[in-house]
Amino acid sequence: MSSITVRNRTDLKRSLPVGLIGLVGLTLAGLAFQYLITHPDPALRWELEFLVVAVVSATIVIGAWRLFESTYDGNDLWAILSWSLAGIVGASLLGAGLYAHQLAEQVRVADPAFLLESMALFGLGLGLAFGIHQRSRLSDGFERAFAQAPANPDAVRTLLSLLGGEGEVLRQRWDATAAVAATSTRAVPIPVLVNRLAADETNGFPDDEPVVEALLEEDIFPTLARNGVFDVDAAAGVVAYAGPPAAVAYLTES
């Protein structure tokens, strides 16, 4: 499998969930706006409804774009999409319950079409926000652990800032760094590193060596070498740990 093929699959895996979030958001917003335009309520109520729908719609679209520009990998983005869709389903069920209550009480608070469209839109926004929060917990967990466990939390926190990234990207950079730092010389041949990362079922890497190699060459090595965490000797085929020495003990214990 070539690195170009891996990169194309990675790009598709990232762009598809983000595109679906944006498409669903725009569709629901379009339906809500169509109803508002064709069913004008009293001025103040209509303006408030229009403003709320506009703000929520813009937030969803901007959020989807920010996700695409982020360092979240495909698995993170698919998980966020799942939470977004779950938000739509949950809010739609709530809207259906409210409509059933209207029928039972023989009152009319909102048109059923607009009620379901707007509730689904709000559910998408809430699900999107919750999904992002869930995927950010990994970074937060690292921060809490760094503040409590290491003898030198500042060194480990510095390492975290040098690793960068979010979600699975951060996990993979951390695991690769730990694998290099765990050796007695703090250096390892690149093919050996690829094999170890692919064989370890507890880390954030897939068990496919060509995919692992592509992740290292296209993201992890360039980023961590630029940030001073790795010293990559491409000619010799060796990568060495060059980050904060005080962080090594925590890397090898985690």
Q: What is the pLDDT of residues 174-227, one digit of tens each?
A: 889 999 998 889 999 999 999 999 998 888 788 889 999 999 998 899 999 998
Query: What pLDDT does residue 1 have?
Result: 45
Residues in the chain with pLDDT < 50?
A: 1-8
**Domain residues of the chain, as ranges?**
3-145, 151-253
Strand order in 187-189's β-sheet?
187-189, 238-241, 230-233
Tell me, what's the pLDDT at 6?
A: 45
Q: How far apart are CA 73 and CA 84, in angstroms?
A: 17
Q: What is the pLDDT of residue 44?
A: 78
Q: Return the closest-CA partner of residue 253 out of 177, 152, 182, 167.
A: 182
Residues shown for the chain? 254
- Distance (Å, rounded) from C-alpha 141 to C-alpha 44? 45
From residue 126, alpha-carbon distances to 24, 133, 134 in Å are 14, 11, 12
**Quick one: pLDDT at residue 72?**
74
pLDDT reported for residue 169: 81
| 254 neighbors 195 (Cβ within 8 angstroms) | no
Strand blocks (E) in the chain: 187-189, 230-233, 238-241
What's the rounded Cα separation, in Å, for the pair 138 and 86?
Answer: 21
Q: How many CA atoms lie within 13 A of 65 on its CB side?
A: 7
Return the bridge partners of 241, or none: 230
